Amino acid sequence: MEYRTEHDSMGEVQVPAWALWGAQTERSRRNFPIGVGLEPMPIEIIRAFAQIKKAAALSNRVLLPETMTEEKCAAICEAADAILDGSLTAHFPLVVWQTGSGTQSNMNVNEVIANYGNAQAGKALLHPNDDVNLSQSSNDTFPTALHVAAVRSVEGGLLSAVDGLIASLRRLESENGDVLKIGRTHLQDATPLRFSQEISGWRGSLEQDRRMLLAALPPLREIALGGTAVGTGLNAPKGFDLLAAETLSELTGSSFVSAPNKFHALTSLDELVFVHGAIKALAADLMKIANDVRLLASGPRCGLGEIEIPANEPGSSIMPGKVNPTQCEQLTMAAVQVLGNDTAIGIAASQGNFELNVFLPVCAYNFLQSSRLLAESVRSFTERCVRGIRANRERMAQNVERSLMLATALSPYVGYEKAARIAQTAAERGISLREACVESGLLSAERFDEIVRPERMV
């Protein structure tokens, strides 16, 4: 491999000739050979950095026109756009497990933009620190990139995936409004309900999760950009923070505002914890829904078997014809991962010391994995499972007819204890609730039929 010589404040470094990164990126690449190829800095963070660098250049052009010339600003913007369209993805080799402030990733972006701009200009036009990083610090750009990437991942991916699942459940509701089934509490038979009502519970949970996600986002829209090293704004011109936030909003299509307290913005991750808490709530509800679906589909002959789900692939290497609820399983595994990520984010957020939290990359990694993973998992579950759910109406009707908890309808007429005795007698002797009631002498068969009407119990 051919190399070229790059230098930074520590001296010279040999960098692969093809690479657009520079000395600081190369030092990090060598010093942190941890999770290489497996746990790179999330591409969402790199894209957010590109938008930040573009917003900073445009703001500096207004506020520091002698330093940020039109030529330099245009070169930075062109390089940032190349990052955003995916042309330069190969030039971001760094991993999550690096400095806790993400300094090397900030410099990776600075160096790539500078080298790309210089190559396009055919001269040494841009310096990674003096020009691309003008009015900025890693300490305010990485938290800003984290907020931008987090907001965009929720807005652009997770919410749309949840909307798709809600729409499929709403359709399933409308198809099953006339289907009676037995309810279950404590995994035991309970009183009847409509299958559409059970589905509405799933839908209602997701709609509530969606509302909580939207309610949690506004604090995350506050960004640290302009606070520079410790929150004082040293080396940034007056008004940079406000103009940069406004410009970043225009570039991303999402609303961002300058954090009113930069000292808080640099050292606290409470907004991220708050939003991920809403993602955790969504994961918990998805776990419940997926478990309900796979239990209702258990069988097909020796389980509940109240619904049928799509048979997507063979379920066993030894048992012919077996079909497993694999989409439910992938969704529950994804939910477990999100619950674990929430713990990691919470612990990391508690570790801010003085003017900076140095657990930023791991928070970025876990948050973005949660948002991305749930979005993809939910889409798969919706497309390959929920859309194909069919009610086994015959099995549901049989279960309603056999349920002893229809005795609940007897309580107003014979009292709780006598109704319980009727149900216990039916269970012990293996006879129907109707037979046990008639034998008790408390009600006639005709009166029982008038009172115990499952369709009136929903």
Confidence band, pLDDT 50/70/90 cuts, at residue 171: very high
pLDDT at 268: 98
pLDDT in tens, 371-398: 999 999 999 999 999 999 999 999 999 9
Query: Residue 104's closest CA among 168, 34, 38?
Result: 34
Amino acid 358: pLDDT: 98
With contact defined as beta carbons under 8 Å apart, do 406 and 192 qualify? yes
pLDDT, mean of residues 430-457: 94
DSSP code of 144? Answer: H
Average pLDDT of the residues in 423-440: 94
Q: pLDDT at position 326, please? A: 97
3-class SS of residue 179? coil
**Centroid of chain to Cα 196:** 27
| pLDDT tier for residue 457 given thresholds of 50, 70 and 90 | very high
Residues classed as catalytic = 186, 316
| Dihedral sign computed on CA atoms, order 189, 191, 196, 198 | negative
DSSP 42: P
- pLDDT value of position 429: 95
Calculate mean pLDDT across residues 148-160. Answer: 97
The arithmetic mean of pLDDT across residues 57-63, rounded, is: 98
pTM for the model stands at 0.95
Question: Helix H segments across 123-158?
Answer: 138-153
For residue 202, name the pLDDT band (cuts at 50, 70, 90).
Answer: very high
| pLDDT band (50, 70, 90) for residue 362 | very high
- Name 5's Cβ contacts closer than 8 Å, sequence gap at least 6: 12, 13, 14, 15
Q: Model confidence over 308-319: pLDDT tens digits?
A: 999 999 989 999
Q: Where are the alpha helices (DSSP H) in 385-430?
A: 393-402, 411-414, 416-429
Give 32's DSSP letter: -
222-223 and 188-194 strand pairing: unpaired
Biggest CA pair distance of the chain: 102
Q: How far apart are CA 52 and CA 67, in angstroms?
A: 18
How many angstroms separate the CA atoms of 233 and 225, rounded? Answer: 9
Q: What is the pLDDT of residue 395?
A: 97
- The pLDDT score that the predictor gives to residue 79 is 98
* Residue 96 phi, psi dihedral angles, 5° rounding: -65, -40
Per-residue pLDDT, averaged over 251-264, amounts to 98
What distance in Å separates the CA atoms of residue 370 and residue 364, rounded to the nearest whole number? 10
Position 361, amino acid: P
Closest CA to 129 of 154, 91, 103, 150: 103
Band of residue 47 on the pLDDT scale cut at 50, 70, 90? very high
CB 39 within 8 A of CB 93: no
Average pLDDT, the chain: 97
pLDDT in tens, 230-251: 999 999 999 999 999 999 999 9
pLDDT of residue 409: 94
What pLDDT is recorded for position 420?
A: 95
- C-alpha–C-alpha distance, residues 121 and 236, integer Å: 27
